[in-house]
Each structure stands twice: as structure tokens, then as C-alpha cells.
A and B are shown apart, each in its own frame.
Chain A
Amino acid sequence: MIEFKNVGLVYPNGTEGLKNVNVTINDGEFVVIVGLSGAGKSTFIRSINRLVTPTSGSLEVDGENILDYKGKNLRKLRTKVGMIFQNYNLVKRSNVLKNVLAGRLGHSGTLRSVLGLFKDEDKALAYESLKRVNIEEKLYNRADELSGGQQQRVSIARVLTQQPKYILADEPVASLDPPTSHQVMSYLKKINKEDNITTIVNLHFIDMAMEYADRIIGMRAGEVVFDGPVSEVTEKTFEEIYGRSIREDDLRGGADSVEE
């Protein structure tokens, strides 16, 4: 369970990233955060694994306040919280298997991992993760030989190999075309359901949020302006979150061509 209690974050340049945020996310939920760019979606997500550190309030993950975590505690938290990025952030010159095994780093001894001596069960787990996102035949290809959608699937496999309790996805489909976007979102949703991993995704496409979310949190200027199950959300809700009427480019489209 993740609990934001009066969380605020002011960046060194004075920008307020988060303002008095109170949100509780229960285990197994699939939450989509929507809002315009600059609304604080990334800051919200990155607070949970402390890539950014809120400056006030308390943020509890599984009942422990994580805001004063350092060193070992912080790495333990991050081992439990997987993350997917907009630009995949794979090591382009390393092969797919090595990239996916990097998901095990938090669970592995330093010397073993540095020498590349991963345990057999780690390798099996990595291969299994690649199979789950249907990219196992690219095992020994270099990451930069893959297309964007394939790279994002590898980064999902990396997160799966980490065996996290939570998955954070920061604009995972913003660099992809509509069919590939739906494919990536379907994988995330499937993993959420099958493994009961709490998943929090940042999106700015309204139709995708409606299609995949159990619950939607709307943000504007660092504040949570909407929080409720997807069944309560209407076009009007989005207009309130965005503070303007809905436009064509708020929609991703292409929902009919999901599978490869």
C-alpha cells in the first residue's frame, strides 16, 4: 500500500512539483495518472521510488515512511518498486539478455553480478520474462537493433525480472505509435492482473486512460484535482482536470489493432 500524506515538493528553482497531495493506492490497483505536461505526474511517480525527494509531508510504502531513506534502505525500496521509462533507458550496446538481467541487480551480490555470474534461476527468470512479452527470440540481439516497441517490451521484461511489488511507468507509450502503444499497455495490464502487481502509469492520452485504468487520478499544477474509479469518469471530468475542452491530440486512437 502506498500512502501520500500532505506531500509537497518544491524544486530548488522554486517550482512547486507537488502541493499537499493526499492519495492512498491499494495493493493490486491499476492507477493511471492523467494531466497536462508539467502537471506533476512525473514528480508524483518518481517520489515513490525516491528518484525525487518530496520536501514536506510523509510518503509511506507498506507502512514505512520512505522520505528519509538512504543507502541500503533506499536500494531495498527500489528493488521492490520497478520502473519503466518513456525512453526505455536500456544499455544500447549490451544485448537483450544482459539488459533484462540488470533487473536482478538489486537482488544479487555485487561481486557475482559484476563478474556476470548470475544464478541459473535468475537467467531462467529473465528468459521467462522475455517470453511473457513475446520477445524471447531477440535474446542475444543488441538493444539498439530493436524497434521502439520492442525496446519497451524488453524494459517491461527487465522490470518483471526484478519481481517487484509495484510497477511505476512514466509515460511508457509517449514515444510509440498507436498500435504499439496499445500493445505495451495490454502487457502492463496483463501483468497487473496475473501477478497482482500494483501498477501506476502516467499517461496524457484520455482514451488510453479510460481503456486500461481501474482508477484515475487527475493532476493539475501539482495538485490532485480528481481521484476516482474509471466508472465515474466522463469527458467532463477530463475537461476539469485539463482546465480546457478536450482536443483531438488528447486521444491516442488506434484501439482496434492491438495484437501484432
Chain B
Amino acid sequence: MAALQLPPKPKNSLYKKIKGILIFLIVAAIYIWTFVSIDIDFAKAIEQVRQNFGNVISGLFQPNWAATGDVALSMLETITIAFAGSLMAAILSIPLAFLAANNMMGGKIGSAVGKWILSAVRAFPDIILAILFVVAVGPNPFAGVLAIAIGSTGMLGKMFSEIIESIDMDVVQAMQANGANRIQILFFAVMPQVIPEFLSYAIYRFEVDIRASSILGIVGAGGIGTMIFFASSNRDWSQMGTILLGIIIVVTIIDFASAKIRRKIV
């Protein structure tokens, strides 16, 4: 019986070693540089925490139950802002996704244009969009809806286009082979493959948007953020405690429901 032979060692190991060391050095340098340059005064920070944090924490853990009604109403507004925004985004992002997907109508140029539009949209943080829309349509929940809608379109459009790119194109070919036109192919071969995933991501995005929209009120775009802004301005920590409790309860329920629904869909 012949002796077992070990597999040969991989080649170009010197190059890989140098590359590894180089990457380690760069990461370490960035890490050290950030800590040095932000100049944290730990002694002062600890002192500050010791003085003020007691108030905040004790306030947060003694919620102002009288505010429950206002918080609930505000929270409901937040949920409706998130819902309207996600729904608008889910609809807006479908045509953009079909444009950006490289296996659909757009071809190479259309796909590049679509992807470029979607990244441009994604570049804006939700809060910046909210500030822009508060200026444009005034300080009301509609500004929040628009901010959420545009912000979510960027992400959903990208997700949807990737889902479209991953479909089984053989099915599309089968439909072509039995004489279907482009619109029929869209509805019979493409839609059944993508709709469940589309829905799943739209619901997930709604979940994210609940959290996003609870902060938008800080810049005047409606919802519970407005209450957060006033409570923190007035140093009213027990009011803040009620608000946070409301957010925690709603987010937990929505997360749970979303997970359940999404598992059913796909």
C-alpha cells in the first residue's frame, strides 16, 4: 500500500503574508489615530455621569403615567407615518427596481442609470430628508411620510432589483417559447417568483421605518419625535420614560408580527 501523501501547500504565500500584515497595520493605525484625535477626557466624563445620570435614570424608571394618553396618540401617528411612507416606497421602488435589474427591460445602460438613481437616493440620511421636506411642505406628519418614503425607496429598490436579478430565467425562456409577449411574461414568469420576497422586504422595511419615524419629529416632521424633543428640552425625564416605554412596546410587537408574517409568505 502506498503511503498517503499530504496535499501541496498553497502558492504565493509571501505576497499573502505581506498583504495580511499591511492590512493589520493600517487598521491598527486608524484605530489609534481616532482615539488620540477625539481627545476623550475620561476623568471629566465619569464625573459628569456621576452628577447627572442619576436624575436621568431615576426619571426614566418612574414614567409619568398621566402622559400615557398623549404618548399613545403620538405613537399611533408615528405608526401611520411609517406605514404610509413604507407603502409609498414599496410602490415607487418596483419600477425603479425593474429598471435597475440587469436582466429586465433596461439593458446595460438602463440598469446603470437605475442603480445610480437608487444609490443617490440612499445617500441621504432619513433625518436630512425630513429637514428638507419640513421646509418644503411645512412642519407636519406629511413631511415625515415623504422623508420615510424617499429614504425607503433607495433601500427597497436596491433589494428588489437584486431579487429580480436572481430569478430563474429558464422559466422566462419557457414562456417566450410558448409565444407569450413581454407583459404576459412579466405577470406569469417574473411576478410569481418575486412577489413573496418583495412583500417580505417591504414588511421588514416597515419595521425599520417605525424606528426611523419615531425620531423624525425632532425636526418637526410629526410623530412621537416631537414629544421626545419637548421632553428632553424640558429635562422632563419621567415624561421621556413614558415615551421610551411606548416605543419599546410598539417596536417589539411589530418586530414579532413582522417575523411571523414574513415566515408565512416565502
User: Are B189 and A91 in contact, CB atoms less than 8 angstroms apart?
Assistant: yes
Collect the chain A residues with CB atoms within 8 Å of residue B20's CB.
Answer: none
Residues of B within 8 A of A90 (CB): 171, 174
A158 x B184 contact (CB < 8 A): no
**A113-B187 in contact (CB<8A):** yes
Set of chain B residues within 8 Å of A91, measured between Cβ atoms:
171, 188-189, 192-193
Q: Does A85 contact B (CB under 8 A)?
A: yes
Q: A51 near B178 (CB under 8 angstroms)?
A: no
State the main secondary structure of chain B at its contact with A: helix
> Are A83 and B177 touching (Cβ within 8 A)?
yes
Residues A77-127 near B (CB distance < 8 A): 77-83, 85, 87, 89-94, 98, 102-103, 105-108, 110, 113-114
Option from A82, A94, A155, A159 in Cβ contact (under 8 Å) with B192: A94
Cβ–Cβ contact A106 & B179, under 8 A: yes
Let me know if A102 and B196 touch, CB within 8 A: no
**In the complex, A77 Cα to B180 Cα: how many Å?**
11
Point out the residue from B171, B178, B187, B192 that lies within 8 Å of A103, measured CB to CB: B178
Interface flags for A154-175 (1: CB within 8 Å of B; 0: not) read 0100110010000000000000
Asked if B55 CB lies within 8 Å of chain A CBs, one says: no
- In angstroms, Cα B177 to Cα A49, docked, is 7
Q: Are A75 and B181 in contact (CB under 8 A)?
A: yes
B188 CB, min distance to chain A CBs, angstroms = 5
Interface residue A190 (Cβ < 8 Å from any Cβ of B): no
| B173-231 interface with A by 8 A CB criterion | 173-181, 183-184, 187-189, 192-193, 196
For residue B177, which residues in chain A have a CB less than 8 angstroms away from its CB? Answer: 49, 51, 78, 81-83
Q: State the A residues within 8 Å of B (CB).
A: 49, 51, 75-83, 85, 87, 89-94, 98, 102-103, 105-108, 110, 113-114, 155, 158-159, 162
